[in-house]
Structure formats: C-alpha cells, structure tokens
Structure 1
Amino acid sequence: MTEIIEFSGKTLSDTNSVLGEGPSYDPDTNTIWWFNILGKELHELNLTTNEKKVHALPMMASVLARVDAERQLISTEEGLFVRNVDGGALTFYAPLENGKPENRTNDGRTHPSGSLWISTMSKRAEAQAGAIYHVAQGAKVTKLFDGISIPNSICFSPDGTIGYFTDTRANCLMRVLLDPQTGLPAGEPIVLVDSTEEPGGLDGSVVDADGYIWNARWGAGCVDRYSPDGLRIARYKVPAAQPSCPAFIGENVDRLAVTTAWEGMDEDSRSADPLAGALLELGVTVRGVVEPAYIL
C-alpha cells in the first residue's frame, strides 16, 4: 500500500515558468539552477542569500551540468554549449541533431563517470521523434536509444551501474545496466515500473543515496518514491498539477526541490492552480547525492 503524504513544504520561487524543468544544484555556491524551456530562460536561486536571477537565453535550453566553478555545460535546441557562470557567454561544444530544427533537448543528467545523458524530442511532441544520447569527454556523442516521444526520468544509481529513463507517452520506467566507468549501456533496457493504467505521466526523476527513485508525476500533482526493485512506497503531494523534475538541494543535499509548469493550461486551469510554474520544496528530509560534474 502506497503511503500518501500531504504537502508540508514551501515555495522557493513563485516565478511562474511556462515549462519549469531541468533543476540542478551547485553545492559550492549553495545555488539551484533551472530552466523555463519555452520561455528561453535560465533561473538561478542562491539558497543562502535568497538572491534570485533570471538569465535570458538566445534559444530553448533544458539541462545544465556543472563543469567547474567558472563553467557549465547546457543543452539547447542548437546543440551543447559551455556557459561561463560569470556573464553567461556561450561557446559551442557539440552538435546533437544537425538538420532537425523541429527538435529540441529535453531531460538529461550527468552520470557518475562524468559523462552526460541528454535527450531530444519534437517541439510539437510528435510521436517517436526523439532520442537519448551519451556525451563523453572530448565531445564524443553516441546515440543510445531512439523512437522516443517524450524522453524523461534520466537518472542513475549512485554507483553508476544502473540507468533509468522513460518515454512519458508510453509511461513505463525503464532500467538498463551500465558500465560504471563510462555510463554506456551494458545490456538491453527492461521495464521496471509499468504505470500505463494510472493518471498522469512519469516525468523527471532523481536517485537518492540508498538507490530509491524520486519521480515527478506530471498531471497528478505528486512526487512518487520507488524502491530499486520498482515498488512505489510513498506518494508526496505537491500543490501544482504538473510537477516536472526533482533535485536534491541544500548544504547537506537533504532537501528536495521540484520544478512545475503551466504548459497546456487554459485560463481557468491556471486560475485554479496558482503555483503552476513555481519552484517548490517538498518539505521532507532525504538522503540525496550531489550530481557529478561533467568532464570536458
């Protein structure tokens, strides 16, 4: 029986992003970064000072990976770019899908090896138009899986031996064995969680220090926690219908933030969901892990 937990958290940022996504945490500065994909914005919130900044971007972007104190790697509709933290200058790093201007990047995460998994999808969410790629040191790009409509839930076990992902439209969480030294698949994906008969869709996920998967369930207003064998053990309600992705935050990475969105909502739905698009904190204590830096 899944334990249902009412929301006891707070709003970290009430900026209502059309499509809040891709939260990541920098432990060196106690800062959380996230994107408003459709609004072409990168958001920054210092958790020590509560200083909030919004950085305009020249294109849609969705995932940020720490490189070092001065640089970040961001995924965009025009490929991968290195971003200078001070000033925001972008330097092209690697192409993803040259010749596919109808696609953009979506979900992604850095593997413990220092490589990156990054996904693409159609800007109009066309069926099976997306893919998941592995990006390694030296800008080596390898396609891992294709024929995916809305790729999400890219995350890894703490030791790097297991990868997870989903196609939100198919609504099954996939599990695949990985080479922990490279982040490349060492087997074929299998279904870990089949949620095709449940309301809402599997969206972004993170894995805690004990190997449990925290998944934002788009359209269901909750974050679910799954055991490593795929059993849902808890459902944490959030006051927004479309949570999109969680992230471990805080100096002890023992807090959980979640981005949300109002994409696709009409005026009445938005009025009934005033926190749609806000950055929320779940209000629970977790055993999080710091996401590794990407190795250029």
Structure 2
Amino acid sequence: MTSSPCLGTARRLVASGCELGEGPGWTPATKALPARVRWLNILAGELHHAAANGSDHVITQLARRTSYAAVTQDGDYLLVAQGMLSRFNPETGAVEDVMPFEADTTPATRSNDARVDRHGSLWLSSMGCNAETGAGSLYRLHRGELTRVLEGLSIPNALCFSPDGRFAYFTDTVTGRVMRWQLDADGWPLTSAGEYNAPEVWADLRDAGGGPDGAVIDADGHMWIALWGAGRVARLDHDGTEIAHVALPVSQPSCPLFGGEGLSTLYITTAHEGMATPDHAAGDGDLFALDLSAHGFKGLAEPSLVLG
C-alpha cells in the first residue's frame, strides 16, 4: 500500500449507480449542446452525460453493451460496443452501424477499454464476457481500418498515450503491471522483421492494493490510474512510480478523466460489479470528481477521431 501524498478525496458528483461505470470522456461544446462529461455503464448499455458540475444528468439507452464513445471529427460519436462499432448522433440519437467487432468469437467477447491516440486513431480492446483468461485483444482503428496489434490478454485497460505520441500505455489488469510500447511516427508499435516489438514493463503495481484499471495522461506526461479495489487513483511519474493519489469513499474506481474548466477537474467513474451488497449511500457505481486546479494539474484535450 502506498504512502504517497493524498491530494484530496473526490466527492460524488452524479448518483448514476452504474454496475460498471467506464469510458469517461470530455465532450466539447457544440452549437446545439454545451460542454459535458460523458461515460458508459457497460453492462447495462447506457450512455451517460452531465454538465461539468454534475447537473443535467441524462441517460441514453443503447442497443448493446458499450464501453466507449469516441468524439469524431464530425462531432458525433463512434460507439465501441459488444460485436459492433457504430456511429451515434448525440443530438438526434440516430445510430448507424460501421463495422463488426469480434462479433463471432468463442468464447464470447465484449469491448472494454478504448482511447483516441495523438494521431486521431482509436485504440480499443476486447475481453471475454466472463473475463476468460487470454480471450482479449488490443486493436487500432486507423483511418477506418481495424488492425489487431496484440492478443492473449485477459482484462485490457489503461490505454493512454504520451503527450508527444511516442509511447502507448496499457495494462492487463490481472498482471498488476502497466506496459509501455514505443510507437513510430504514424503511431504504430515499432516493428522488427514484420512483427510488432514487445512492450516493456513500465510500472509494477502488484503491491498497490488494487488492480490497475483505466488511466489518463495529464499535461505533464504523468499517468493517473484507477486502482480497482483500492479506493484511489494514483498519479505516476515518468518512471512509473506513484508520487501522489486521490482518495475515494468507494473501493472500485474504474477510470479517471480530466475535464471541466481548464481541464483541471479529475472525474472518476466507479462500479459496483461483483459486490454482494453495494453501498449506494457511499456511492458505489457513481461518478466522482475533484478540482485539482489549486495543485496546478490539468489534462490534455482529447484528439478527435479521424475515420477517413
């Protein structure tokens, strides 16, 4: 367990009660809609939106288990869902299927973590619906073409990228380690003799008290990573060492995100998946937030997804 400085305790912002809250993102303002935070309740197939202060909470029911909604250059979303990638218009609710995504796998899989890289391409992952060992894979959707870059994962998470786009990070939660992959000028893992180079162990979190889950990189290039089961989000320096953390009153944070004014508020999704008796009073499954502007921390704007 860490003895790193605590930056504060995140407060409950939205009582969303998600079984598996995940995939948070900050959606910029459009002519029709204000800036807002978005997140998914994967197992229920729900897309959530709320204003920066947690007001105006809206839930949209989706047709599939969905883990991420990437903002495209056109201002709509690409939904990363079980069996399918689809485009979703947040103003009208219209959905258009784009391409199958592991639609016929055995054992059955669903989408999990995803994030747009600094090149405007989407990295996305799959895992077994019952977290079967080695059933998951990691993909990159680049200019409309989907390529698998790694397989044999169990619970892929923590997809995020260095500010200069030179490195990709990810974890297989069950290993307790965060991996780092060097990328070429186009954002692909460097290759050798036609094969992707093996990623290196960047951070060992096996003694962190919880499993590494979703993550985001801040403007300083430091990682903020949710520690499932530990009730905190850790800030890791460039060497993968925990140097600070944000506490939560619940045990299962799933993914952090920077948003709000100046991108200085840390939003955190949580879950009550697997809990025999979720503590709804404490906020298991709700959206939490902590303003970090007093510490000088801020996030990076999310790149828009380029599909063509």
Q: Could you tell me the TM-score, scaled by structure 2's length?
A: 0.90
Q: Which residue of 2 aligns with 1:292?
A: 303
What is the percentage of aligned positions where both structures have the same residue? 37
- Separation in 2, partners of 1:7, 1:184: 37
Q: Which residue of 1 aligns with 2:194?
A: none
User: 108, 123, 126: which is aligned to 1:120?
Assistant: 126
> RMSD between aligned alpha carbons?
1.7
Q: How far 1:195 moved relative to its partner?
A: 1.8
Give secondary structure in 2 for the equivalent of 1:73.
Answer: strand
User: 111, 118, 121: which is aligned to 2:117?
Assistant: 111
Amino acid at match of 1:161: R
Q: Which residue of 2 aligns with 1:244?
A: 254
Q: Which residue of 2 aligns with 1:98?
A: 103
User: 184, 188, 201: which is aligned to 2:188?
Assistant: 184
Q: How far 1:180 moved relative to its partner?
A: 4.1
Q: Deviating runs (4+, > 4 A) in structure 1?
A: none
Q: Which residue of 1 aligns with 2:79?
A: 74
Please tell me whether the aligned partners of residues 178 and 202 of structure 2 are also in contact (alpha carbons under 8 angstroms): yes
Q: How far 1:71 moved relative to its partner?
A: 1.0
Q: How far 1:272 moved relative to its partner?
A: 7.8
Amino acid at match of 1:189: P
- Separation in 1, partners of 2:279, 2:103: 40
Amino acid at match of 1:271: D
- Separation in 2, partners of 1:49, 1:230: 32
* 2:10 matches 1:34: no
Q: How far 1:179 moved relative to its partner?
A: 2.1
- Separation in 2, partners of 1:51, 1:143: 38
Q: Which runs of 5+ in 1 are unaligned?
A: none
Please tell me whether the aligned partners of residues 13 and 53 of structure 2 are also in contact (alpha carbons under 8 angstroms): no
Shift in CA distance, 49/170, structure 1 to aligned 2, threshold 3 Å: closer
Please tell me whether the aligned partners of residues 174 and 211 of structure 2 are also in contact (alpha carbons under 8 angstroms): yes
Deviations along 1:43-101, whole A, 9 cap, x unmatched?
01122682110000111000111114641111000221111111221111122213127
Deviations along 1:175-219, whole A, 9 cap, x unmatched?
0111243x2112420001112244210000000111100000000
Please tell me whether the aligned partners of residues 10 and 283 of structure 1 are also in contact (alpha carbons under 8 angstroms): no
1:165-184 correspondence to structure 2 within 5 Å? 165-181=170-186, 183-184=187-188
Q: Which residue of 2 aligns with 1:16?
A: 17
- Separation in 2, partners of 1:8, 1:117: 30
- Separation in 2, partners of 1:274, 1:9: 12
- Separation in 1, partners of 2:304, 2:201: 29
Give secondary structure in 2 for the equivalent of 1:91.
Answer: strand
Give secondary structure in 2 for the equivalent of 1:252.
Answer: helix
Please tell me whether the aligned partners of residues 14 and 54 of structure 2 are also in contact (alpha carbons under 8 angstroms): no
1:147-296 correspondence to structure 2 within 5 Å? 147-181=152-186, 183-186=187-190, 187-267=197-277, 270-271=278-279, 274-285=282-293, 286-296=297-307
Count residues in correspondence: 292
